[in-house]
Amino acid sequence: MSSKISKIKLTGLPGFENAFELEFNSHLTSLIGPNGSGKTTSLSAIHSIFDFLNRGKFEKRDISIDNWLNWDMAEIELKISGGFRNSDKNFQALGEQIDIITISLRNTNKEIYVSSISTYLGLVKINDSSNLYLNSEQLELLNRNLSDLRTKEIQQSNHLAVIQRQGNVSQTQNAQSTLDGIRREIKSYEEQINKESIDLLNFNESGIRREPFENFLRELSIPRSKFIRFGETDFSNVTDTIKNISKIRGGKDPEEKYTEIKRKLKDLLQQEPHFYHDRDNGNQDYLEINNVEYQKVSTGTKICLFYFSLIFETKDNDLIIWDEPENGLHPTRRYKILDLILSDTRQFLIATHWPLFVTKIVMSYVRYVSIKVSMERIT
């Protein structure tokens, strides 16, 4: 079972007087418009929703307050492939067989939470006093205290070094004990930040508690979101991918999988890739393209390698959000990447200045929205 995004509605998005509504295609959804029209703002807001829904359950928390403080209300509609059999009595109002489900969220600039879950049969409402929340003030306080402790750790470590040089055993022991205590406090704060940054309080009259609620969301297979901001292609991901491809050669049916990977990469690059393992140079894994090391290839080839790495390292159900993927690519490679996107199982949401990215192909595979220059931005 997997979920696909069918609709998103955002209210209170900076720069948009009315609600921002977007219907998703199963492959590629594109936002087209000039600078200042709100494309990047929209991408960031959509990413924040899925980042929040998956945080603490599917991936390590990566809290960026600026990213999620830019909308008031959100509704996401998911279509569930094959349907979801709902056997949880806490959510029986939603029906036994769920094909389409809507998750509503609220953002108060201090906390973000799921406010309701609904289907065409019914609704489970979560009131404001009992919610899944991310509290920015709490996080800021924890991080400030952690920063202060790390400063104390450096100061105490320097103090210990001075005493050790003086040879005073008793003072050295006391200083070491103090340093150990500071480090225990640092570990405690780090655990609080990782564990307590998101918490689901006990629900009230509904009787739904944290564990069944999180389990229900998890079973929906809500897509994870990967956001590539403009110009921020992380080439280090390519290095990890090369290592992982090398591991495949030692797994089950290695040659068949490896041959398929090489074929796809060659088709993308229109050049011959060559993977090899150098045992004489620190057991390093390498990739050459037409006898050129991958670190030394052109910018366009690097972007293509990044795209290949992106697909290789993400899951089939992920949402890939990419701000101006055409940047730095020759038109022929733009079309090549577009062909791969349209044949991929993931959903892609992009912002682009290049209308040909969507108008030169069969429109039944792509949904695009042209955003006019937005109103004066809300501050």
268, 286, 313 - which closes a domain: 313
Is 220 inside a domain boundary? no
Residue 23 tokens, joined? 């219907």
Instruction: Give the pLDDT confidence score for residue 79 in this predicted structure.
Output: 92
Q: Are both 145 and 127 inside the same structural domain?
A: no
Is 217 inside a domain boundary? no
pLDDT at 146 over 80: yes
Instruction: Give the pLDDT confidence score for residue 374 in this predicted structure.
Output: 37
What is the residue-averaged pLDDT of the chain? 74
Q: Is 105 helix (H, G, I), strand (E, B) or coil?
A: strand
Is 69 inside a domain boundary? yes
**352-377 as b/e: b if 16+ CB within 10 A:** bebeebbeeeeeeebbbbebeebeee
Instruction: Give the pLDDT confidence score for residue 67 in this predicted structure.
Output: 47
Rounded mean pLDDT, 158-181: 87
Q: Are both 25 and 126 inside the same structural domain?
A: yes
Of residues 11 and 129, more confidently modeled: 11
Is 213 inside a domain boundary? no
Of residues 65 and 108, more confidently modeled: 108
Question: Using 50, 70 and 90 to split pLDDT, how confident is the model at 99?
Answer: very high
Rounded mean pLDDT, 138-165: 84
Residue 5 lies in domain: 1-135+317-378
Rounded mean pLDDT, 260-282: 75
Q: Are both 72 and 176 inside the same structural domain?
A: no
Q: How many domains does the chain have?
A: 3
Q: Are both 105 and 52 inside the same structural domain?
A: yes
pLDDT at 119 over 70: yes
Q: Are both 146 and 91 inside the same structural domain?
A: no
Is 81 inside a domain boundary? yes
In sequence order, the β-bridge partners of residue 79 are 4, 100
Q: Are both 32 and 123 inside the same structural domain?
A: yes
Q: Are both 294 and 250 inside the same structural domain?
A: yes
Check which CATH number belongs to the domain holding 331 and give it: 3.40.50
Instruction: Give the pLDDT confidence score for residue 206 in this predicted structure.
Output: 43
256, 289, 313 - which closes a domain: 313
Separation CA 290–CA 48 (nearest Å): 40
Of residues 318 and 362, more confidently modeled: 318
276, 294, 313 - which closes a domain: 313
Number of helices (H), then strands (E), in the chain: 10, 16
Give which of 327, 324, 332, 287 is closest to 309, Cα–Cα: 287
Is 212 inside a domain boundary? no
Q: Are both 17 and 119 inside the same structural domain?
A: yes
Question: Using 50, 70 and 90 to split pLDDT, how confident is the model at 65?
Answer: very low
**Percentage of the chain exceeding pLDDT 90:** 6
Yes or no: say if 222 and 78 are a contact pair by the CB < 8 Å rule.
yes
Is 165 inside a domain boundary? yes
Q: Are both 128 and 31 inside the same structural domain?
A: yes
Instruction: Give the pLDDT confidence score for residue 357 in this predicted structure.
Output: 56
Rounded mean pLDDT, 80-98: 84
Instruction: Give the pLDDT confidence score for residue 76 in this predicted structure.
Output: 94
